[in-house]
Structure 1
Amino acid sequence: MSSDEELMVEKAKKTSNKVKEERKEGEPSAAFKGASWAALLVGVTAYIIGLFNAAMELNEKGYYFAVLIFGLYAAVSLQKAVRDKEDGISVTGIYYGISWFALIVAVSLMAIGLYNAGSIILSEKGFYAMAFVLSLFASVAVQKNIRDTQAARDRE
């Protein structure tokens, strides 16, 4: 055998000896985890860059930033409460109700703020609305992935 053939055989042996780590049952794929984190980062980053570049008063920028943070927290909190109820974990009615209320308030504050914003053109309003919705959805997906991964590891 030539030295090239020997190297190829040796490389093939090393590759076959590597144990591929498989996903645990119920664990999301790495691609889905990555896509969820990417969507969250894109949504939040785009929203914040849009705020930074916006020609609005600092107090308006603060309002829209606070609504984003409140919305992210409310979405994750509601997702956790819903998931806990599904998994048979005790969730008080008041916490469940407050979680729904907080998300509804966050979305309403964003909608009302954008509707009443006279200094923002329609395309910018659409941009903020879509970045907001993307961020909320992605935060729920990321939290779900974290929870599913932890549950899969706990079952070992």
Structure 2
Amino acid sequence: MSNDNEVLLDKGKQKDPKMKVARKEGEPTPAFIGASWAALLVGVAAYLIGLFNASMQLNEKGYYFAVLVFGLYAAVSLQKAVRDKDEGIPVTNIYYGISWFALIVSISLMGIGLFNAGSIDLSEKGFYGMSFVLSLFAAITVQKNIRDAQRARERD
């Protein structure tokens, strides 16, 4: 008789569309993962589309593209170093320092480049600055989500 009840309970669980999917402790929600990826894609795509359509010289476009790539890498690298250090994973002081330095340099290069860009309207400068910051923040968040999901899987 208990087997019949278990079968009925199992069938009832499958038919309930509002039943929540169990997540592991520390695992980010699918909505947060999707929002993070969307922010990263929107930020990078907006920046690159703006850069493609800009009326600046090719070497200027290359500069802003390189600053974006450098900034994304530096932000993810710093997030990993900070997280490793927090979790007791060994991180050398030189790598930790270089990660901070690289992020500060990339943000500084973006600010200096936009400040000195005489051919770019103020509204365009704001657009590049905001899409750059959105992209950096989203890259950090995506990397954090990947790390949290991996950590949750390893706990099983």
TM-score above 0.5, yes or no? yes
* 1:37-82 CA-partner distances (Å, limit 9, x unpaired): 0000000000000000000000000000000000000000000000
Q: Which residue of 1 aligns with 2:96?
A: 96
Q: Which residue of 1 aligns with 2:32?
A: 32
Change (3 A) 1:147 1:117: same
* 1:93-134 CA-partner distances (Å, limit 9, x unpaired): 000000000000000000000000000000000000000000
Q: Which amino acid aligns with 2:153?
A: R
Q: How does 1:39-118 map to 2 (within 5 A)?
A: 39-118=39-118
Q: Which residue of 1 aligns with 2:143?
A: 143
- 1:15 CA drift (Å): 1.3
Distance 1:13 1:142 in 2: 32
- 1:16 CA drift (Å): 4.1
* 1:123-146 CA-partner distances (Å, limit 9, x unpaired): 000000000000000000000000
Distance 2:118 2:16 in 1: 64
Change (3 A) 1:155 1:125: same
Q: Which residue of 2 aligns with 1:7?
A: none
Distance 2:13 2:85 in 1: 49
Structure 1: give runs of 5+ residues left out of the alignment: 1-10
Q: Which amino acid aligns with 1:55?
A: S
What is the TM-score when the length of structure 1 is the normalising length? Answer: 0.89
What is the TM-score when the length of structure 2 is the normalising length? Answer: 0.89
Distance 1:90 1:13 in 2: 45
Q: Which amino acid aligns with 1:98?
A: I
Structure 2: give runs of 5+ residues left out of the alignment: 1-10
Q: Which amino acid aligns with 2:108?
A: S
Percent identical residues: 77
Distance 2:89 2:23 in 1: 25
Deviation beyond 2 Å, 4+ runs, structure 1: 11-14
**RMSD over aligned Cα atoms:** 1.9
